[in-house]
């Protein structure tokens, strides 16, 4: 219950921080619903205002979303199964606004795998090995800056996430070519810093920046 002056509101809040299951693809949600995510993705909280009062609620969460490349889902399929027109593809992808995409750190296309690859036994690392590497990276971040990388502010990013000269040059070229905002620039730097931490590297290298750039190439930028 929130008392905002003369009006008392009964608020029913969706606790996104504890939601771990969502069956819908992100473009199937109403755009007005998706746009509400912009504030908590940026600040880690939501603000509800009415008259002269306002209330802030914590809303820091990890957003993992999926979408098809087009309405039928077959755009780019090796068998050329897609029959969507360019206008249909543009309208479908346009359901996700640029400002919302700007706040999503990693945007990766996952293509269809050939049947023979699907049948192969996985040769990836054990989960325990990966978990240990993540724990080591998190410990490195706490020791270096007192917080995890995703919590860094602009001035802290400039201090702790600056790449070497080659990495900086590569990032500037990507910003110009892909028309990134300052927000995108800082988010790529944090991802690059995390990649370097996972590799146990004290400095962000050109290869770390290159990998972070590839993780942020949305469909409409390619």
CA distance 62 to 67: 17
Tokens 């990836």 belong to 124
The hierarchical CATH code for the domain 131-221 is: 1.10.8
For the chain, the domains span 2-104, 131-221
Tokens found for residue 193: 């810093």
Neighbours of 51 (CB within 10 A): 9
Series of mean pLDDT values for 10-residue runs along the chain (222 residues)? 44 49 76 89 85 84 89 88 93 90 90 80 87 97 96 94 96 92 93 97 96 81 50
Tokens 């900086």 belong to 168
Tokens found for residue 113: 């795998």
Please tell me the predicted confidence (pLDDT) of residue 19: 52
Residue 61's region, left for phi above 0, alpha for psi from -120 to 50, else beta, is: beta
Alpha helical stretches, state H, the chain = 31-35, 38-43, 86-93, 98-102, 115-118, 127-145, 154-160, 165-178, 182-198, 206-214
Q: Which residues contact 135 (CB under 8 A, 6 or more apart)?
A: none
Please tell me the predicted confidence (pLDDT) of residue 31: 87
Please tell me the predicted confidence (pLDDT) of residue 57: 86
Tokens 């509400």 belong to 36
Q: Which residues contact 198 (CB under 8 A, 6 or more apart)?
A: 133, 134, 137
Tally of residues, the chain: 222
CA distance 162 to 176: 18
CA distance 3 to 219: 44
């Amino acid at each position: 219950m929130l008392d905002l002056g003369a009006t008392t509101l009964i608020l029913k809040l969706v606790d996104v921080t504890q939601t771990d299951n969502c069956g819908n693809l992100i473009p199937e949600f109403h755009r007005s619903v998706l746009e509400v995510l912009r504030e908590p993705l940026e600040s880690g909280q939501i603000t509800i205002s009415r008259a002269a009062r306002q209330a802030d609620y914590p809303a820091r969460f990890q957003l993992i979303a999926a979408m098809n490349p087009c309405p039928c889902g077959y755009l780019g399929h090796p068998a050329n199964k897609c029959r969507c027109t360019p206008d249909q593809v543009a309208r479908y992808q346009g359901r996700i606004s640029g400002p919302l995409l700007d706040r999503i750190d990693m945007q990766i296309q996952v293509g269809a795998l050939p049947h023979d690859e699907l049948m192969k036994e996985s040769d990836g690392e054990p989960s325990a090995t990966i978990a240990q590497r993540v724990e080591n990276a998190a410990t490195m971040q706490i020791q270096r800056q007192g917080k995890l990388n995703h919590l860094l502010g602009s001035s802290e990013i400039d201090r702790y996430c600056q790449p070497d000269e080659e990495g900086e040059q590569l990032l500037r070229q990507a910003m110009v070519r892909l028309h990134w905002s300052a927000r995108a620039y800082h988010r790529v730097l944090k991802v690059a810093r995390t990649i370097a931490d996972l590799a146990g590297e004290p400095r962000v290298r050109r290869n770390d920046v290159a990998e972070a750039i590839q993780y942020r190439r949305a469909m409409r930028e390619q």
